[in-house]
Amino acid sequence: MLLFLIACSVGTPDGATANSVSAREAERMRETQVAAGRLAGTARELEAAARKAQLRIKAGDNPSEHLETLERLMDEMEAMEQELDRAHQERLQTIKQSAQSTLETTR
């Protein structure tokens, strides 16, 4: 246990140094976080637009106007999801190709 506590205290208290592998990976994760947040926001926007469309169509509005908005939001979400998936696959490939501490993590 003492060795664990010592190991946890080694290193800079300010985190990864600039331009280190850890700093670059942390930045990539922040970018992913922002992209996921945009996707979640668009999903909420789609949900609200769908509710609004249902009410307006029941009241006699033309469905085609609302469908255009819903389709645009779904297309945006699909593009964001594909970008997140691509980044995830790249990250998995990087992990597989990087030196790891155990053989099991690279399989």
Tens of pLDDT, residue by residue over 24-38, are 888 888 999 999 999
Q: Is the pLDDT of residue 104 over 70?
A: no
The rounded distance, in Å, linking the Cα atoms of 33 and 75 is: 20
Q: Is residue 51 part of a domain?
A: yes
The rounded distance, in Å, linking the Cα atoms of 11 and 51 is: 52
Q: Is residue 16 part of a domain?
A: no
Q: Is residue 105 part of a domain?
A: no
Phi and psi at residue 89, to the nearest 5°: -65, -40
Q: Is residue 5 part of a domain?
A: no
**Could you report the per-residue pLDDT of 60-99, keeping only the tens digit for each?**
999 898 999 999 999 999 999 999 999 999 888 887 877 6
Per the structure, how many domains does the chain have? 1
